[in-house]
Structure 1
Amino acid sequence: MASANLNIMINAARKAGRSLVKDFREVENLQVSVKGAGDFVSRADHAAEAIIKDELRGARPNYGWVGEETGAEPGEDPTRRWIVDPLDGTTNFLHGLPHWAVSIGLEHKGEIVAAVVFDPAKDEMFTAEKGDGAFLNNSRLRVSGRRSMIESIFATGVPFGGARELPATLQDLARLMPQTAGVRRWGSAALDMAYVAAGRFDGYWERRIKAWDVAAGILLVKEAGGFVEALEPGQSPVDSGAIICANAQLFDGFAKTIRQG
């Protein structure tokens, strides 16, 4: 059975998801402002984050908060914080591509202990709690069992425009792609990690990422039996800004290939 905190997170994700689906149906009418090259924010982001914040902080007002759109706010309880991306995959959303998600992680003493990644377009709810496994719509998840790189597919985020990580990522691809069955760039880090947990992807890495993009995904992968590390060993995967994950059989070889850069 889900804990009280996880049920709060699920309800918040579903409520925000309903709002996002409504806006997604009218995507051509969205009021869009530009935060930076290739990095868009819409009215839908803000509305969804307001819904989630109201639900989570209303239920647990003493917890801290980190949201993509509203930033960080301390709580009376310094050991716990919500880490939220209300719409991961904004560019997909604004182009009418049905691949985006709500991501909510609960951190306790520096470790993610509960996670929700909700894909409203497909009605897929990925959840996990520390020590209790990972689930998709109540069905248990396991990472893939593939052992060979050449049979495996990996996911990443290719930097847009003139981002400084673009050359290194292109070098990653040049080293990795000849060893694999393919690489996917689908535009939502939260779903990339959820798909690793579900065995749909065999691994994922990204060189520039925010805590709210991957907080929930980190726990999903771990609870599904996968390995997750910061790209630089020894750093926190939540806060390092670069991450890598895969099933246990592939992780060492995959990480070695990527870390050569």
Structure 2
Amino acid sequence: MQGSANLNIMIKAARAAGRKLVRDFREVENLQVSVKGAGDFVSRADTAAEETIREILTEERPNYGWLGEESEPVEGKDPTRRWIVDPLDGTTNFLHGLPHWAVSIALEHKGDIVAGVIFDPAKDELYWAEKGQGAFMNDMRMRVSARSKMIESIFATGLPWGGRPELPPTIRDLGRLLPATAGVRRMGAAALDLAYVAAGRYEGYWERGVNPWDVAAGMLLVREAGGFVEPLAGEDIFASRTIICGNGNIFDPFAKMMRDYS
């Protein structure tokens, strides 16, 4: 595997956090049967994973900024670069003992994502990309699916829980999309949804209410694998907190279907 120094640092940090999370994940099943439950334990595991990542990245690149899910943002001495980190994407899956979660690390330069790493320790799948260099899973080059018919395509999304404001429009999205497709999956980890689009496992993905750390690395993976990524609404993914992506054949009809009623 060859990549820039920054990419190698990101992979080192993702693998280190992943090793710790795998050890913690083995404890979750036992904690499920306790009176207190696994929630506090998982919260600590999440925070500890972020501390591991931050320690490695900061030691190697002390001047870069930081945006992480579990800590306050930091503007670095180098204002043009920042790390965007989700130490445990798919926390609810982790909490319930479901082996579908990941570590996500992206590097932003002047507002553009230039490197991304998503590590799925449970399956030992490492997804990575650098701008202009293609996207890879472990040592294999990734390309988005070549399917061109909506009815043959599988899509992914996230379903809001409780009374979140994204729930009604997402239900409307599903009502329009489901009859026109081969199915929609809700796996519970946005980073892996994007990685799966890049790998050709899904034809497309959309979601409302995303955060930068959910999607930053995956956005680059999809683009470098030949797909398209845009905000579902508005002009910017991070500002609008919406995202839609797909392969080149599916993206236009898929986006039109979602946007006509957004």
TM range (shorter): over 0.9
Q: Is the 8 A contact 1:116 1:125 kept in 2?
A: yes
**CA–CA distance in structure 1, aligned partners of residues 240 and 48 of structure 2:** 28
- Please state whether the residue corresponding to 2:105 is helix, strand or coil: strand
In 2 relative to 1, CA 239–4 (structure 1 residues): closer, same or farther, beyond 3 Å?
farther
Q: Is the 8 A contact 1:210 1:239 kept in 2?
A: no
- The structure in which a higher percent of residues are strand is 1
Name segments (4+ residues, structure 1) moved above 4 Å. Answer: none
- Please state whether the residue corresponding to 2:202 is helix, strand or coil: coil
> Which amino acid in 1 is paired with 2:47?
H
- Number of the residue aligned with 1:117: 118
Does 1:32 pair with 2:33?
no
**CA–CA distance in structure 1, aligned partners of residues 244 and 45 of structure 2:** 29
- Please state whether the residue corresponding to 2:83 is helix, strand or coil: strand
Q: Is the 8 A contact 1:134 1:141 kept in 2?
A: yes
1:175-194 equivalence runs, <5 A: 175-194=176-195
Does 1:222 pair with 2:229?
no
Task: Give the TM-score, by structure 2 length.
Answer: 0.95
- CA deviation map 1:138-177 (0-9, x unaligned): 1000000000000000000010011111010000000000
1:141-160 equivalence runs, <5 A: 141-160=142-161
- How many residue pairs match? The answer is 254
- CA deviation map 1:39-73 (0-9, x unaligned): x9611100100000000011000000000001211
CA RMSD of aligned residues (A): 1.2
Q: Is the 8 A contact 1:228 1:237 kept in 2?
A: no
The structural deviation recorded for 1:258 is 1.0
- Please state whether the residue corresponding to 2:73 is helix, strand or coil: strand
- Please state whether the residue corresponding to 1:231 is helix, strand or coil: coil
Task: Give the TM-score, by structure 1 length.
Answer: 0.95
In 2 relative to 1, CA 122–153 (structure 1 residues): closer, same or farther, beyond 3 Å?
same
**CA–CA distance in structure 1, aligned partners of residues 42 and 121 of structure 2:** 19
Q: Is the 8 A contact 2:116 2:221 kept in 1?
A: yes
Counting aligned pairs with the same residue, the percent is 67
1:175-254 equivalence runs, <5 A: 175-233=176-234, 235-254=235-254
- Number of the residue aligned with 1:49: 50
Structure 1, unpaired ranges of 5+: 34-39
**CA–CA distance in structure 1, aligned partners of residues 43 and 186 of structure 2:** 22
Q: Is the 8 A contact 2:153 2:181 kept in 1?
A: yes
**CA–CA distance in structure 1, aligned partners of residues 98 and 42 of structure 2:** 16
> Which amino acid in 2 is paired with 1:255?
A
The structural deviation recorded for 1:239 is 3.8
